[in-house]
Amino acid sequence: MEFRYLRSFLAIAEELHFGRAAQRLHLAQPSLSQQLQRLERDVGVELVRRSSHEVRLTPAGEAFREEARKLLDQVDRAIAAAHAVASGRAGTLNIGFNFPAGQDVLPAALAALNTEHPRVQTQLWERRTGPQLEGVQSGELDVGFVYGRPVSPQLSSTELMTVPIVAVVGERHPWAGRDEMPVRMLDRQPCLLFRREQSPAMHDAILGAADRAGIKLTITAEVDDPVATGVLVSARQVIGFASASRAVRAPAQGLVAVPLTQPSPSLALHVVWRTEDRTPLVEALLGALATAGPFEFSRPEPRRPELGR
Q: Is the distance from CB of 122 to CB of 110 less than 8 angstroms?
A: yes
Give the pLDDT score at 116: 87
Q: Is the distance from CB of 247 to CB of 170 less than 8 angstroms?
A: no
Q: What would the pLDDT profile of 223-278 be if each residue is shown by its tens digit? A: 988 778 888 998 889 999 999 887 765 455 678 889 999 999 999 999 999 998 88
Give the pLDDT score at 302: 46
Q: What would the pLDDT profile of 193-217 be if each residue is shown by its tens digit? A: 999 999 999 999 999 999 999 999 9
Look at residue 306 and tell me whether its pLDDT is greater than 50: no
Look at residue 163 and tell me whether its pLDDT is greater than 50: yes
Domains of the chain are 3-86 (1.10.10.10), 91-160+268-292 (3.40.190.10), 163-267 (3.40.190.290)
Look at residue 124 and tell me whether its pLDDT is greater than 70: yes
Give the pLDDT score at 158: 96
| Mean pLDDT on 99-107 | 92
Question: For residue 48, what is the enclosing H or E element?
Answer: strand 48-50
Give the pLDDT score at 250: 41
- Phi then psi dihedrals of residue 55, to 5 deg: -125, 125
pTM of the model: 0.68
Long-range interactions of 196-200: CB distance < 8 A, separation 24+: 197/130, 198/128, 198/129, 198/130, 198/131, 198/224, 199/128, 199/129, 199/130, 199/147, 199/309, 200/129, 200/130, 200/147, 200/148
Greater pLDDT, 112 or 1: 112
pLDDT class for 64, splitting at 50, 70, 90? very high
